[in-house]
Structure 1
Amino acid sequence: MTEKTALILLGCPQVPVQTSMALYLMHGLKEHGIRPVIAGTVAARKLMEVADPGRHYLEEMADLDDMIDEITGKRRDFDLCFVFIHNDSGVAYAGTMAYISQARLYALLFGEHAEDLAKEIEFPCEVVAAKAVHNPMPLKRKLDEVMQWAVSK
């Protein structure tokens, strides 16, 4: 049996909770034997590197667009995909993943307009939305609920 993998897509780290929630998600995935891979913008990847200098959770990171090219070219795919979304471009990235990947897709919407952005999603995925900007707890609570069954399938 091959190891399960999860792709975590990180866009612009404009909203503070993204980095801490990505690390929290990676921790949860690893606890369940699922190997997390980060794909993100340069700024998002740098924040992750600084937040985890000992590479306890960061085993692999890649450029967001390079990863999309790999998946589009059928050179790689994942069992799970979590897309962090706080603006329209995040919704577009999640929509792209719904189209190109076989992964079970989770749209993690956060920030001031999380609920409004959730209404824009018209592709198959599990939507997790919380108005979390500086305090990660609303998104953490919802992610914990989703993680219960996401890792069990």
Structure 2
Amino acid sequence: MTESDERGTTALILLGCPQVPVQTSVALYCAHGLRRNGIRPIVAGTTAARKLVEIADPERHYVDTFEDLDAVIGELAEKKRDADYCFVFAHNDSGIAYAGTISYLSQARLYVLLFGEHPEEVAAAITFPCEQITAKAVHNPMPLKRKIDEVLQWVVSKQ
């Protein structure tokens, strides 16, 4: 039984290194959009990335579950869990590696959110099936927010 069977539709939001400032606010915005549409967001990330999101949402309005990124990947590998959707935030090769791992381990519909100074160059490393959401966004979250709005409309219409 998957986690979605037990608790409704779920989405993993995977966060790597929070080096690029827009990651935290856009991850919270994505979680808000998912939750508003009946999809339970679960943030899995590095310690620093998780703590930034946790501190920004102290009353758990948008995310109620935070998990260690490596632990989640381990559970996916062991087939102990899966999700319906997965949003991987990627601004470097490490983000692409995490997304590729998810593509291999999970049945989730995979969205890779590519951002930073040169998202097209990072996107060129993708060799696995996924939906790519690309926006040059470092300090200003609006280009990536607009792309997420489009994707969330599509996700909600397919439920």
State TM-score, norm by structure 2.
0.94
Match of residue 8 from structure 1: 13
User: Which letter does structure 1 place at the counterpart of 2:111?
Assistant: Y
User: Using the alignment, how far apart are the partners of 2:150 and 2:59 within structure 1?
Assistant: 28
More moved, 54-63 vs 37-46: 54-63
1:20 to 25, 35, 38: 25
More moved, 85-94 vs 111-120: 111-120
Displacement of 1:6 in angstroms is 0.1
SS of residue paired to 1:151: helix
Is 1:53 aligned to residue 62 of structure 2?
no
Displacement of 1:143 in angstroms is 1.1
1:151 to 138, 141, 156: 156
Once the two structures are superposed, the pairs formed by residues 72-111 of structure 1 within 5 Å of their partners are 72-111=77-116
User: Using the alignment, how far apart are the partners of 1:93 and 1:151 within structure 2?
Assistant: 25
Alpha-carbon RMSD across the aligned residues, in angstroms, is 1.0
Q: How many equivalent pairs are there? A: 153
CA deviations over 1:26-59 (Å, ceiling 9, x no partner): 0000111000001000000110111001111121
Match of residue 62 from structure 1: 67
Q: Gaps spanning 5+ residues in structure 1: where? A: none
2:120 to 110, 115, 120: 115
Is 1:132 aligned to residue 137 of structure 2?
yes
User: Using the alignment, how far apart are the partners of 1:89 and 1:151 within structure 2?
Assistant: 29
The percent identity for this pair of structures is 69
SS of residue paired to 2:41: strand
More moved, 53-62 vs 7-16: 53-62
Displacement of 1:151 in angstroms is 2.4
Displacement of 1:150 in angstroms is 1.6
Q: Gaps spanning 5+ residues in structure 2: where? A: none
User: Using the alignment, how far apart are the partners of 1:55 and 1:146 within structure 2?
Assistant: 23
Displacement of 1:152 in angstroms is 2.3
CA deviations over 1:64-114 (Å, ceiling 9, x no partner): 000000011000000000000000000000000000000000000000011
Structure 1 stretches of at least 4 aligned residues deviating more than 2 Å after TM superposition:
none
Match of residue 31 from structure 1: 36
Match of residue 48 from structure 2: 43
